[in-house]
Amino acid sequence: GAVVSQHPSWVICKSGTSVKIECRSLDFQATTMFWYRQFPKQSLMLMATSNEGSKATYEQGVEKDKFLINHASLTLSTLTVTSAHPEDSSFYICSASGRRAYEQYFGPGTRLTVT
């Protein structure tokens, strides 16, 4: 149980375009979802936390107008990178927590490359 999926697993887009990444909890209801960014050979940096039906809470330094997060249901959160630039290229990982707040379940990640 407690499976989190992400789609797509990798995406290449041109500079200036937008790309949407989906994060789904497949077998549980995720009251909170988290979005992380990971640069090569580095740790995970929390970008934002979202609760179902509420606006996301962004970490300091993360542009909320560039990284749009929608948590429309208890099983789906989306991250949209708007007007992507090469520096947005990274590995994006989502996680979700349910009733047991002390556990986060991680998705497999999405590799974004902006050319």
Binding site for other proteins (CB under 8 A): 4, 6, 32, 34, 41-44, 46, 49, 91, 93, 95, 97, 101-109, 111
* Residue 44 C-beta: closest distance to other proteins, Å: 5
CB of 34 or CB of 58, closer to other proteins: 34
CB of 14 or CB of 41, closer to other proteins: 41
Q: Residue 87: helix, strand or coil by DSSP?
A: helix
CB of 61 or CB of 65, closer to other proteins: 61
CB of 25 or CB of 109, closer to other proteins: 109
* Residue 26 C-beta: closest distance to other proteins, Å: 13
CB of 82 closer than 8 Å to CB of 18: yes
CB of 45 closer than 8 Å to CB of 95: no
* Residue 38 C-beta: closest distance to other proteins, Å: 9
Angle at 4 between CA 78 and CA 10, to 5 degrees: 60
Q: Using only the alpha carbons of the chain, give its radius of gyration.
A: 13
Closest CA to 63 of 77, 90, 84, 44: 84
Dig out the tokens for 52 from the structure.
Answer: 């179902």
